[in-house]
Amino acid sequence: MTMRLSERRKAGAALVGFAVAVNGPYALLVQRFGYDEVLRRPALDVLAAFDAGGPALIVIWLAFAACALSFL
């Protein structure tokens, strides 16, 4: 079954929308949590950084997870 042009455009727009949407929470994680670099540190340092982030960091993580789930 082949996709019509309009279906391909919708799928393309959804993929672009996902890429844009996921970068917002990711940028906040990099800024507030030092994400990606923090994963190279000892576990106690990571947990301390997570605790210092407070509830706002949890909301950012949830937004990041929601974007990933929307991709599925």
* pLDDT at 1 exceeding the cut of 70: no
- Could you tell me the residue range of the domain that residue 45 belongs to? 19-71
Residue 37: inside a domain, yes or no?
yes
Average pLDDT over residues 5-14: 89
Give the pTM. Answer: 0.76
Residue 10: inside a domain, yes or no?
no
Residue 3: inside a domain, yes or no?
no
Residue 34: inside a domain, yes or no?
yes
The pLDDT tens digits of the residues spanning 13-25 come to 999 999 999 999 9
Residue 63: inside a domain, yes or no?
yes
* pLDDT at 70 exceeding the cut of 90: no
The pLDDT tens digits of the residues spanning 29-42 come to 999 999 989 889 99
Count: domains in the chain: 1
Residue 3 to residues 8, 11, 12, 71, 72, Cα–Cα distance (Å): 6, 10, 12, 19, 19
| Beta carbons of 29 and 35 less than 8 angstroms apart | yes
Residue 12: inside a domain, yes or no?
no
Residue 55: inside a domain, yes or no?
yes
